[in-house]
Amino acid sequence: MFESIEIILAAGLGAMLAVFYFGGLWWTLRCLSTSQRPLAIYFASLTTRMVIALLVFTGFAAYGVWQTFAACFLGFLITRIALLRFLGREPSLATAAQRSGP
């Protein structure tokens, strides 16, 4: 019973990590166009998101139970897929130019 609760909590933490990671990416991309230092914002955001994600995944790997690590990673991936389907993909400039024609 306790093991199943650990797995559910690990999957939930993976989902929250994905929301943080991809939400931070979305926010960063929105801020780049109005920023006076877009490169600094980009690298600060990338570093912060990567360090936190790696700390969480490393923590689960060091915990020693592969099921909790797999649940965390699966929660991360499923949330990423759900966010892509829910939010959709915005068309790029190249796609918009192809639609409008010459």
**d(C-alpha 63, C-alpha 72), whole Å:** 12
* Tens of pLDDT, residues 42-96: 999 999 999 999 999 999 889 878 899 999 999 999 999 998 888 776 655 545 4
C-alpha distances out from residue 39 to 21, 24, 32, Å = 18, 15, 8
Q: Where are the domains of the chain?
A: 2-100
* Tens of pLDDT, residues 20-54: 999 999 899 888 888 899 899 999 999 999 999 99
> Both tokens of residue 14?
């993976």
Contacts of 9 (CB under 8 A, 6+ apart): none
